[in-house]
Amino acid sequence: MENEVQEVLNKLRPFLLRDGGDVELVDVDEGIVRLRLMGACGSCPSSTITLKAGIERALVEEVPGIREVEQVF
């Protein structure tokens, strides 16, 4: 499952890098993905929207068993 999550993150990464940010996979446990937003994304006021509306939506749609994304600081 971690490999599938990483594949989706790799598809999304260019959009984050374009804005000066990045994402790191910390853990996948029982359908919950824990991510660390880095660079500009880590301190951006819109990071919650990026995480939930963008990254979480893509992961839930593309990786069976994923149900939620949590941000780790």
Asked whether 58 and 50 are in contact (CB, 8 A), the reply is: no
Domain boundaries defined on the chain = 2-71
Asked whether 8 and 1 are in contact (CB, 8 A), the reply is: no
pTM of the entire structure?
Answer: 0.91
What's the pLDDT tens digit per position in 30-51? 999 999 999 988 887 888 888 8
Q: In the CATH scheme, what architecture does the domain 2-71 have?
A: 2-Layer Sandwich (3.30)
What's the pLDDT tens digit per position in 8-20? 999 999 999 998 9
Say whether pLDDT at 58 is over 90.
yes
> Cα separation of 5 and 63, whole Å?
7
Rg of the chain over all Cα atoms, to the nearest angstrom: 11
